[in-house]
A and B are shown apart, each in its own frame.
Chain A
Amino acid sequence: MENTRSMARIIVVTSGKGGVGKTTSSAAIGIGLALKGHKVVLIDFDIGLRNLDLIMGCERRVVYDFVNVINGEATLNQALIKDKRVSSLSVLPASQTRDKDALNKENVGKVLEELGKTFDYILCDSPAGIEAGAMMALYYADEAIVTTNPEVSSVRDSDRILGMLSSRSRRAELGLDPIKEHLLLTRYSPKRVEEGEMLSVEDVKDILAIPLLGVIPESEAVLKASNAGEPVILDTESDAGKAYQDVIDRLLGETVDFRFLVAEKKGILSRIFGG
């Protein structure tokens, strides 16, 4: 098994807490890696609550899903949706109605092994929580992008997920090298940090003690992007789009300075007159 496994990098995007930006980040990172010429497949592990298709803008092209493939009702090729913008990117949607016990280690492992023959990157968009679905999404991971908001409950849940990564994954069970962990801080507001109202990057790094992959600023561009089904990384003028671009470069081994960590300075007039 170990030898036949391909060299595809399996990366789980996880968080514990819901609503912190896992799917937004998965979509952006998937597109970003594919734009760099890599073959990427994005898998939605949120069985029953499919959403990656919407964020990717391919919701009307879903015919078969992950569970159909698992049950042998469709082949992988039938279920994979090729992205219309970047041809080296495919999406494997979650099922909308089936029960979430459809996935188990064996059948998920087989699908990942099959995908590993074709793709360079397998990105697993995890459901929230620490139930079976989230455990399945992280089980085979080589790397984990722990998506965290600078907020107490999100940080605490991220720490719990870090515990799961180091005890419940395949790498942990087989005693292999541990999963490589990355911190992705999202919805960051430098202004509120400066005002002492929000945990800073350094605070979160201190607590979670894992390497920082990126800081995505709180941005209006994110909602616009999901409205349109165009992952925010395609909005190359936006702060969030640029921040995700930096994430891609770091994932590919480059050293890139962190941007958007300080609030834009107010002019003297607005300082005096407020607003």
Chain B
Amino acid sequence: MALLDYFLRKKEKQVTTASKAKERLQIIVAHERNNRNKQPDYLPQLTEDILNVLRKYIHVSDKSLSVNLDKKDGDLNVLELNIELHDENNAS
């Protein structure tokens, strides 16, 4: 029987369970990573609005503001604003 199996196995190049496992894992892991790094949908608009407010008072470029929402321990979320000011701004 083993001899028969040996020759038969050569022929059938079917999808192995290992390749199914890999495919399923790639999909679910990519999906879960996406959720992990996901920033809320409102963040780009929020960034734009804050920039507009800032521009009423000082000169800032688009790149001088970064906005991040971080999940800390438990239920704590931290909204982090980082505004980079250049010397010319301080002068005015």
Residues of A within 8 A of B (CB): 151-152, 155-156, 159-160, 163, 167-168, 193, 195-200, 203, 206-208, 271-275
Q: B32 at the A/B interface (Cβ < 8 Å)?
A: yes
User: In the complex, are the beta carbons of B18 and A196 less than 8 A apart?
Assistant: yes
Known: A197-B18, A200-B18. A155 touches B25 (CB 8 A): yes
Residues of B within 8 A of A (CB): 1-3, 5-6, 16-19, 21-22, 24-26, 28-29, 32-33, 36, 71, 73
Residues of B with C-beta under 8 A to A275: 2
User: In the complex, are the beta carbons of A193 and B33 less than 8 A apart?
Assistant: no
Closest approach, in angstroms, between the C-beta of A188 and any C-beta of chain B? 12
Closest approach, in angstroms, between the C-beta of B78 and any C-beta of chain A? 11
Cα-based distance from A208 to B25 in the complex (angstroms): 10
Residues of A with C-beta under 8 A to B28: 156
Residues of A with C-beta under 8 A to B16: 195-197
Cα-based distance from A207 to B22 in the complex (angstroms): 8
Partner of A273, one of B2, B18, B29: B2
Residues of B with C-beta under 8 A to A195: 16
Cα-based distance from A198 to B21 in the complex (angstroms): 8
Partner of B29, one of A159, A197, A271: A159
User: In the complex, are the beta carbons of B25 and A272 less than 8 A apart?
Assistant: no
Known: A163-B33, A196-B16. A274 touches B22 (CB 8 A): no
Cα-based distance from A167 to B22 in the complex (angstroms): 26
Residues of B with C-beta under 8 A to A200: 18
User: In the complex, are the beta carbons of B1 and A163 less than 8 A apart?
Assistant: no
Known: A159-B29, A163-B33, A167-B71. A199 touches B22 (CB 8 A): yes
Partner of A198, one of B18, B36, B71: B18
Known: A271-B2, A274-B1. A156 touches B18 (CB 8 A): no
Residues of A with C-beta under 8 A to B1: 274
Beyond A152-B25, A156-B29, A200-B18: 19 further Cβ-contacts under 8 Å? A152-B21, A155-B25, A159-B32, A160-B32, A163-B33, A167-B36, A193-B18, A196-B18, A198-B18, A199-B22, A203-B22, A206-B22, A207-B26, A207-B29, A208-B29, A271-B2, A272-B6, A274-B5, A275-B2
Cα-based distance from A195 to B6 in the complex (angstroms): 12
A-B contact pairs, 30 of them (CB 8 A): A151-B21, A152-B21, A152-B25, A155-B29, A159-B29, A159-B33, A163-B32, A163-B36, A167-B36, A167-B71, A168-B73, A196-B18, A196-B19, A197-B17, A197-B18, A199-B21, A199-B22, A200-B18, A203-B18, A203-B21, A203-B22, A206-B22, A207-B22, A207-B25, A207-B29, A271-B2, A272-B2, A272-B6, A274-B1, A274-B5
Partner of B24, one of A152, A168, A208: A152
Cα-based distance from A275 to B71 in the complex (angstroms): 55
Query: Chain B: which residue is nearest A168 at the CB level?
Result: B73
User: In the complex, are the beta carbons of B2 and A274 less than 8 A apart?
Assistant: yes
Closest approach, in angstroms, between the C-beta of B4 and any C-beta of chain A? 10
Cα-based distance from A171 to B79 in the complex (angstroms): 19
Residues of A with C-beta under 8 A to B33: 159, 163
Query: Chain A: which residue is nearest B14 at the CB level?
Result: A196
Cα-based distance from A168 to B70 in the complex (angstroms): 11
Query: Chain A: which residue is nearest B70 at the CB level?
Result: A167
Cα-based distance from A198 to B17 in the complex (angstroms): 7
